[in-house]
Chain A
Amino acid sequence: MKCLLLANESAEVLFYWTDTEFEQRVQEQYGVSQEEGERLPAFEDSINTLFAPIIISCSTMVDRLGDNYTSFSTENNHIYVLHQFEECLYIAVNGDGDETEEDLKRKIFVMKKLTEIMFGMVTFSGALLRKELRPQDTEQRNRLWKKLRSLLETYSRLRENDQSFLVEAVERLIHPTLCEQCIEFLERRLVQQINSNMDRMGEEVLHAFILVHTKLLAFYSSRNASNLYSSDLLALIILVQDLYPSKINLDETSEELESSSVPEVFYTPEPSPPERESVRQRGDSPPVFQFVDPDVQMAEDSLQTLEAPTPDPSAPSRVFLESKECPMPHSMYCLPLWPGITLVLLTKIPNSHVATSVCYFLEAFVKLEKRLCEGHEGAAAMRGQPSVQEQRSRLEKLIKTWAGMDIQTSQLQNAWTDFKNKAFICCPLCTGSFLQLSAWAAVKKLMDWKDFLLVKSKRNITMEFPGLIHFIYVDRSNGQMIAPSLNVTDRTVSELGKGPLADFIKKKVWSLVATAQRYLQKGYATVTLRDGDYFYCYFLWFENETGYKLEVIDIPSSPDDGAPVGMLTCDYYRKLLRYYSKKHQNEVVKCYELFTVHLGVIPNEYILQHCSQLARKLWEPTRIPLL
């Protein structure tokens, strides 16, 4: 029984997602009419009614007590987690015991991250976000919500099954030779070629990478590209997985699961089924991209692109990536090479610099509005900030510049919309043929490796320590992790075998990570636990670039209502590294984590020795350059 809800301060639901159980419960409890056609609005309405008292109470608490609810739990262990981002209130509910309070909080933060990736700076303003998330047109709204729901479900699936989403770090396929070759390929054959093509209408490929399922095979960034943060990369993997869900962790058993437990409200998009089928049938023959003509209607608004009913490989998605100044709009092209293997290109769009100015003014106006609302007592606080006049002249200047760019500037409101459209307008980077060419090249390149890669993605690394059951090693400085696979439902047997034991261990690993993160949040960087027949260790430490272990520091404990520990949301580790680096200004500081599960019968000394050896051994693979 799960639910996630976004509402604004006037208790208007901006988005909701429920599973069937929750929906049924609500309908049973409140006898919502289930007439065909009327079903959806009626359900939305009852959701609205149900949560409104909570939402209203939240704003009362904030206004009058300066405090707010963060969670409720009931005697039958239902959990409600609430979090307010600016004017937007997120509520996540679980009533089936699958998720903890921490999980729900994380889900909320991930949802926030997904909206940021999709809408960028719009999320800065409640009113604008409302407009985006709740379009007047019901049809349009349904399409958008469907997309968001699908993303949320994809995330939940990954979080539940994929270790890289458990620890929120990207997993790399460890094969230095192939990796190197691929990087070279990406550089010479793709990025350089495309960027030198005059046909690209001002677009420029900044990043290119190849994913095997959720694992990263190769990554290349062009020279003038800014850094792609791990949080963004993880979010992009969710987007890719949503477009082309890999069945690696799900296989037959989970297909059953899907059909039984996943209700129709789960709008799992069918990722161009004919293509996939044809690929399978033809076995080894290289896949062909059957380019559908770009959606004719797209253009007006970027949202349209997002809502395209079937993903068209040549139709990019607009994504906003973190940069120092503001969320920068990029185009993302996803090219499935084989089922499970995807090539992703991130391009800079022609007018993206507009975003910086828009962002600046948006922020300034939000601040200004706040100050005006608070009255003029904030005059003192205004010092140090540009005055209204200053802002105005700056804006006028900007508008003049833009006027030169054929942008309508009659009214500020209009201007904003237009700027936004201008900034958001998607022009497909490549014509079908060009893209096809690059894809072909990639396919040819990887042809011989395909099967190997797919297997490798399941058995990335093996272990040889007796008594060691599982480990996860994470390099937080580059946001990458290494772990033996835990494919519980896969046909191929993982290191742990399959069936109940593997499932049991998987649960244990998941709870170990959650526990370690909870202790880390309170400032504990080393934790060992004896739980039943197993012994768990968690270590977090810092090294300099040469691998010299740096002295431990007291990690500040963060408040309970802060962002969850992780990288996907509000990158905790980036902050941690920044905090540590203050004390080590002269060196490059790296941060590592190791989680291990041992059999409890092994004496502690041996376990600790294992851990120390393991850390040394695993240090090497992470040295593989990514460029």
Chain B
Amino acid sequence: MENTSVSVSSILIVILEGKRFGLTANCTSYVFHHISKSSFFFLYDSSKVQEEVDLTRDGIYYFSPEDTPIDQQELLCGQLAGVCRCVSELSSSPVRLLHLRKSKYAVRMKDKFLWALSCVVDIPDVSVCDLLDQLIALFCFYNGPVRQSYQLYSKQELALRWARYLCHLQGGSTELHHIFSCLRTIDSTHIDPLLLLKAALILQACQRCPLVLAGCILYRGRVVSTQMPPALTVKVMVYETQTYSQDFQVTANGLSSLVGSPFSSTATTQVFLMPTELHMLRCPPVDRACRYKSRSFLSKKSSFVRSRLLSRTLSDTPTTDTDSSSLDPTHCPPPSYKTVPSSPRSSLSDELCFSPSPSRVNTPIHSNLMNQSEYFTPDSHVHSTSNGTNLCAVEEHLAGLNIKQDIDANSGSETKSNGLNSDQDIQSEEIKAPANGYEQSNCLDNHSDLDSQIKSEENKLDANNHVTNKNGNGETEEEAKTKSKQINRKLKEKNEPTNTPSPHETLEDTSLVPLVLYQHRVKGLVLALLVEPEFITDHSAREEVHHSSLASLNGLEAHLRNTSPGTPGPPGPYTFAHYDCIQNTLTTNVCGRSVGPQDQAFVKATKLVHSHFSRLDTLQEAIVRNASSAVYGTRTTAQETYFLQQGTPVRNSGSPDPQDSAFSLPRKARLRLLKHGVNLL
């Protein structure tokens, strides 16, 4: 009988726990049976819901679809967060995947945050997990660490961004694209290969500027050529894909009206890269020592370099200069930077931080996503230059991006900062000084969330550090300390220090490195470059890149525009999908949304086999057959290929039979796919 009392007390504890975990939902009798129909995404901060009095809704940072009743949002977030927490405590590891009968959720848990993205059950686990990771990475790419972003911007502002990223990632054209979460590329079969070469050359030319790390060229939301790893390319594409995706026909139409007018603009955006990504960019597998060579040219005689850059071919690459120190991945700006005499580029932070900061906080928010094309029109530039009016700030604000934009005419001579950056900028400005105190404050206390924020600020600062040093703004340690305290206070005001220290608090987030995304648009064509922050202020570098690529871009755009999209030929007697794991691209003849029964069978089998491939590394090929279809899947480390021969299969018993047509699929696939450039030999 002692037992009973024990279990009663345990139940009590449980109920309390449940409350703490947000398990005991508000007991309205509303039942949400339709819930499984749609796909959900939410970001939940459990540090906001700690006490019994705390409302679950306070922890909900973002919930999609946004028109979901708040009761339902609370229910889902509360339950899932509670259960995930319970399970992760039991296993001392964050939950990664959560299956329900009618749907499944990819989950990420980090620093008290919980992201969850749902999809229907038949999407492979690996695909939905990838999608969620991409989504989070995308957010961090444009906004920096999540916690910090929510300290700087309001939930509503960031909601717009989440919505946009979600839309970007989910707006893939076919289900197959979702399964492989691959990049959307232009259909290279209908394009003159010389154009692709030309695109690659443009990118290489841009890289001559030492501040340019890597780039990609997009046409109407699809990749033409890229130098970046796929994970980065997909991030850079956000705005483009949306503009041109089928879901945004209206926008696209709006843009097509612009196409006629001579129109070109450049924009820069602050972005954040993970150290590994940056490492890859700064230390690409190919020897790029030549770049550093030219960099030294630049520092000595920029005019000479420019003239050199204006005409180049692949063959005029200067001989390699084995300056090993400049290849050091950890220390980004090569020493040559420092030798640059105070150039016209005062410093990144100067531009970034001292710009007028239109008030951010109380600006009204548009209810719908802004038309992207508008953002790049000269009109918006007019707003831009009449800087200071709140209206302009709001407009740009709505673009959801901290883009600084300028127009060819001005060619970067002046850079306007828009509203979005303001708050952050102020902080950066203040933080900039205590650079020397960096180490120190790092050791002071390693626990609170505040700390992580400070660290991130410091990191940002660290990245700009050389600039400061260069300007000779040496500060004493004392000063640094005081400033750092000020920051602390400021941050404390922003963020109630209720958060308990979490052992999970990794530095991953906080070690994001700020870079700049430079975009040069020529109608439907966009040149996107990831550049060092100095690029913004380095007038001559910008000019170089701009002028050296402008003509080529115009030419490329004209060619691409005149290339007919190529009506897909009559579907062959087979269906195939070829996924390049390295480039993250997909070639397929399954078109769009109108899929016939054979295509459906193909997609179903592809899902299963892809999922199997992802689980079992040693698996090389598979044939799966039901009564109506047989699908052959094969893979190497670099690719996965799926093939289905159409037509009604011959009468078959399914018993082992060497004559069975299913077993001739590998041979057929090898033959048929050669003409699609897929070599299975």
Interface, chain A (partner B; CB < 8 A): 10-12, 29, 41-42, 44-45, 48-50, 52-54, 56-57, 60-61, 63-76, 78, 80, 93, 95, 138, 511, 515, 518-519, 522-532, 537, 539-543, 549-555, 559-561, 592, 594, 604-605, 608-609, 611-612, 614-615
Contact = CB atoms under 8 A, between A and B. Distances in A.
A541 B653 contact: yes
A29 B88 CA distance: 12
B3 A138 contact: yes
A553 B95 contact: no
Given A56-B18, A74-B87, 17 more contacts: A45-B10, A53-B83, A56-B15, A56-B23, A60-B24, A65-B35, A68-B101, A74-B94, A75-B95, A519-B624, A526-B623, A526-B660, A531-B618, A542-B654, A550-B653, A551-B651, A612-B657
B99 A71 contact: yes
Interface string B54-89: 000000000000000000000110010011101111
12 contacts: A41-B3, A48-B14, A61-B79, A67-B102, A75-B95, A524-B605, A526-B625, A540-B654, A550-B653, A559-B101, A592-B655, A609-B658
A531 B75 CA distance: 44
A575 B121 CA distance: 24
A551 to B, nearest CB: 6
Contacts of A526: 623-626, 630, 654, 660, 662
Contacts of A560: 99, 101, 121
Interface string B613-640: 0001011111111111010000000000
A54 B87 contact: yes
B91 interface: yes
Interface in B1-50: 2-3, 6-7, 10-11, 13-15, 17-18, 21, 23-25, 30-33, 35-36
Contact of A49 (B3, B14, B88, B618): B14
A610 to B, nearest CB: 8
B201 interface: no
Nearest to A83: B101
A511 B95 CA distance: 25
Contact of B21 (A53, A71, A95, A532): A53
A539 B656 contact: yes
Contacts of B621: 529-530
A594 to B, nearest CB: 6
Contacts of A78: 87, 90-91, 93
Interface string B644-670: 000000011111111010110010000
B652 A552 contact: yes
Closest 6 CB pairs of A and B: A611-B656, A52-B14, A549-B653, A76-B93, A552-B654, A78-B91
A526 to B, nearest CB: 4
B79 A60 contact: yes
Contacts of B25: 60, 64
Contact of B620 (A74, A524, A531, A543): A531
Contacts of A541: 653-655
Interface of B: 2-3, 6-7, 10-11, 13-15, 17-18, 21, 23-25, 30-33, 35-36, 75-76, 79, 82-84, 86-103, 121, 604-605, 608, 612, 616, 618-628, 630, 651-658, 660, 662-663, 666
Nearest to A596: B656
A615 B660 CA distance: 15
* Residue of B35, B36, B102 with most partner-chain A CB within 10 A: B102
Contacts of B88: 74
Nearest to B652: A552
* Residue of B24, B654, B660 with most partner-chain A CB within 10 A: B654
A527 B31 contact: no
A523 B608 CA distance: 11
A519 B604 CA distance: 11
* Residue of B94, B628, B651, B653 with most partner-chain A CB within 10 A: B653
Nearest to A49: B10
Nearest to B75: A64
A95 B622 CA distance: 30
Given A54-B86, A524-B625, A530-B619, A69 B653 contact: no
A294 to B, nearest CB: 32
A465 B14 CA distance: 61
Contacts of A42: 6
A529 B619 contact: yes
Contacts of B3: 41, 44, 138
A537 B626 CA distance: 14
A549 B623 CA distance: 21
Nearest to A38: B2
Contact of B97 (A56, A72, A608): A72
B292 to A, nearest CB: 40
B79 to A, nearest CB: 5
Contacts of A554: 626-628
Contacts of B83: 53-54, 57, 69, 72
* Residue of A48, A56, A537, A549 with most partner-chain B CB within 10 A: A56
A477 B655 CA distance: 16
A604 B663 contact: yes
Nearest to B658: A608
Contacts of B96: 73-75
B658 A527 contact: no
Nearest to A521: B608
A133 B180 CA distance: 47
A418 B391 CA distance: 83
Contacts of B656: 537, 539, 594, 608, 611-612, 614-615
Contact of A12 (B7, B98, B102, B616): B7
Nearest to B619: A531
A559 B7 CA distance: 36
Contact of A11 (B14, B100, B605, B663): B14
A608 B7 contact: no
B111 to A, nearest CB: 14
Contacts of A57: 18, 23, 79, 82-83, 86
* Residue of A12, A42, A73 with most partner-chain B CB within 10 A: A73
Contacts of B23: 53, 56-57, 60
A604 B11 CA distance: 60
B10 A48 contact: yes
Contacts of B662: 526
Contacts of A542: 653-654
Given A49-B10, A60-B23, A78-B93, A72 B99 contact: yes
B94 A524 contact: no
A611 B652 CA distance: 16
Contact of A72 (B95, B616, B660): B95
Nearest to B90: A50
B626 A524 contact: yes
Contacts of B619: 529-531
Contact of A515 (B90, B98, B99, B612): B612
A237 B69 CA distance: 53
A320 B94 CA distance: 43
Contacts of B92: 29, 76
B653 A65 contact: no
B654 A525 contact: yes
Nearest to A22: B90
